């Protein structure tokens, strides 16, 4: 059955949310609780209303959850799915789900995201992800808010995704990255994202939509017309804010210098907090 979303997922300004991982930007080590608290205070000050976390590692529930509670920021929590498996019996999934069920601070949670590009990466079939969502719901039965998955629009548009997932989620959530479309310039980023959100809204009838990951890299290779850079990032984020920032979770708080640069040479360079201060 569908649950009440308790109001739609929409910000009261042009920058609703931001992704936040409690890792040191330089090396991926876990941040101290004090550092996390300082970061979340900064995000509250900048006007963000919600943060999206991906998993429970680095004591996220305690440190990030505690800081969000203290500073009055809502949360989108997640269960991260990797190549090791897509079922509750996968040890690292079981660990995350059990930790969330025990934490149970449901009043802080506005959205529960199961998997991040897990179908796109070939870690789950749509049917396996559906089964995982069903198990998570039973383990976290105290939570009555909305669920979603985070995939790209083209994955959502596959008939098997739609048929497996639509009736077990309440919100259609996608990671919409304009940079990965070679036709999009920074100034067109917002128009592109709005168009993708419109298409997303047609997939699961009656569902609210949310843009779960969206930004622009400050360094890397040009992808056709989509070129990274500091000024390009600022321009793209301004365009997204003006167009649909109240339905967007910006990616990401800081650069991730510990990641592999990737084929675009851009994976380390999505930190965008400077655009909001």
Residues annotated catalytic, as ranges:
117, 213
Token duo for residue 258: 């510990």
**Is-contact 38 5, C-beta < 8 A?**
no
Q: What is the DSSP letter of 170?
A: S
Collect contacts of 260-263 with beta carbons under 8 A, ≥24 apart: 261/220
DSSP characters over 102-130: HH--GGGEEEEEEEESTTTTTS--HHHHH
- Strands 248-250, 17-19: parallel, antiparallel or unpaired by DSSP? parallel
Helix (H, G, I), strand (E, B) or coil at 186: helix
- Strands 17-19, 109-116: parallel, antiparallel or unpaired by DSSP? unpaired
Alpha carbon distance 13, 46 (integer Å): 11
Distance of CA 33 to the CA centre of its chain: 22
The tokens 């000024």 sit on which residue? 231
Dihedrals phi, psi of 103, to nearest 5 degrees: -65, -55
Packing angle, helices 60-71 and 91-103, rounded to 10: 30
Alpha carbon distance 130, 118 (integer Å): 12
Residue 67: name the closest of 54, 51, 47 by CA.
Answer: 51
């Amino acid at each position: 059955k569908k649950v009440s979303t308790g109001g739609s997922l929409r910000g009261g300004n042009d920058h609703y949310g931001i992704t936040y991982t409690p890792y040191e930007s330089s090396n991926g080590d876990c941040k101290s609780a004090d550092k996390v608290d300082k970061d979340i205070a900064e995000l509250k000050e900048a006007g963000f209303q919600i943060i999206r976390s991906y998993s429970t590692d680095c004591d996220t529930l305690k440190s990030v959850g505690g800081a969000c509670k203290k500073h009055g920021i809502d949360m989108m929590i997640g269960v991260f799915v990797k190549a090791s498996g897509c079922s509750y019996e996968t040890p690292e999934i079981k660990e995350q789900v059990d930790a969330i069920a025990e934490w149970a601070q449901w009043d802080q949670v506005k959205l529960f995201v199961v998997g991040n590009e897990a179908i796109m990466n070939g870690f789950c079939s749509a049917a396996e992800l559906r089964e995982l969502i069903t198990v998570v719901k039973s383990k976290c039965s105290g939570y009555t808010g909305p669920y979603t998955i985070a995939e790209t629009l083209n994955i959502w548009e596959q008939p098997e995704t739609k048929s497996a997932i639509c009736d077990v989620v309440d919100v259609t959530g996608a990671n919409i990255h304009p940079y990965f479309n070679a036709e999009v310039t920074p100034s067109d980023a917002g128009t592109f994202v709005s168009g993708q959100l419109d298409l997303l809204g047609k997939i699961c009838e009656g569902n609210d939509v949310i843009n779960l990951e969206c930004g622009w890299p400050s360094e890397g290779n040009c992808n056709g017309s989509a070129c990274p850079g500091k000024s390009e990032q600022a321009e793209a984020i301004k365009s997204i804010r003006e167009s649909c920032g109240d339905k967007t979770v910006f990616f990401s708080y800081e650069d991730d210098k510990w990641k592999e640069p990737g084929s675009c040479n851009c994976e380390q360079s999505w930190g965008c907090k400077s655009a909001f201060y």
